[in-house]
């Protein structure tokens, strides 16, 4: 690291705080060497990360910090999948974590009750909604409006729609994301 000055005389100075020394001129033959004494480091493991600090900080034995994951960061907060049929009032208040729900709509859905999760969590309840073989069932849930418009399910028999219920840590935002989704062969 050169100081950036040109010519043989240089007015560069590096100032160091208490307990820190700087030697060298910044030239190729005399690079800057910065020493701090004492260097005090402490590491602490967490439930998910194990830390190891080795070395004594000398040039022959520099400090090295290694981190290793001890396990999943939050294994309980993962999507599970539920297969069900819906009509009338739908109560999801018992869900405790993000979930994907594949629901066959067998009658008009008239209300949807969502859970209240902790304010330090965010997550999505994915709704994959399929009309039954009859089709024509409506979603008349008043509290789920996107852009001021009620969510309109695809009405053809077997039609599939994807609706996301996103918990922000404070409230639910319910959005129709993909309507009349074509089934992938084999799904």
pLDDT in tens, 43-102: 676 766 777 778 777 778 776 777 776 665 555 556 678 899 999 999 999 998 888 999
pLDDT at 91: 94
Q: Taking CA 172 as the corner, what is the angle to CA 170 and CA 174, rounded to the nearest 5 degrees?
A: 155
**Domain residues of the chain, as ranges?**
20-69, 80-181
Backbone torsion region of residue 153, taken as left when φ is above 0, otherwise alpha when ψ lies between -120 and 50, otherwise beta: beta
Q: Indicate if the alpha-carbon torsion angle 108, 110, 116, 122 is positive or negative.
A: positive
Q: Within 10 A of 104 (CB to CB), how many other CB atoms are there? A: 18
Kindly report which listed range (2-6, 59-63, 114-118) carries the lowest average pLDDT score: 2-6
The DSSP 8-state label assigned to residue 139 in this structure reads B
The number of residues making up the chain comes to 187
pLDDT at 142: 66
Give the span between the Cα atoms of 130 and 84, in whole angstroms.
10
pLDDT at 143: 60
Q: Record the pTM.
A: 0.56
State yes or no: pLDDT of 144 exceeds 60: no
Give the span between the Cα atoms of 114 and 167, in whole angstroms.
9
The structure tokens 């209240």 sit at 116
């Amino acid at each position: 690291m050169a100081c950036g000055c040109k010519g043989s005389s240089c007015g560069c100075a590096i100032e160091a705080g208490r307990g820190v020394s700087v030697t060298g001129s910044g030239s190729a033959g005399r690079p800057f060497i910065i020493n701090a004494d004492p260097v005090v480091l402490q590491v602490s493991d967490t439930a998910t990360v194990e830390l190891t600090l080795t070395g004594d900080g000398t040039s022959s034995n520099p400090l090295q910090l290694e981190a290793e994951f001890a396990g999943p960061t939050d294994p309980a907060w993962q999507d599970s999948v539920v297969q069900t049929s819906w009509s009338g009032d739908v109560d999801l208040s018992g869900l405790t974590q993000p979930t994907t729900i594949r629901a066959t709509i067998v009658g008009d859905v008239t209300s949807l009750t969502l859970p209240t999760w902790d304010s330090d969590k965010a997550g999505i309840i994915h709704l994959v909604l399929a009309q039954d073989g009859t089709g024509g069932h409506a979603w008349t849930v008043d509290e789920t409006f996107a852009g001021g418009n009620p969510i309109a399910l695809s009405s053809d028999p077997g039609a599939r729609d994807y609706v996301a219920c996103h918990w922000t840590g404070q409230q639910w935002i319910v959005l129709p994301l993909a309507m009349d989704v074509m089934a992938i062969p084999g799904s």
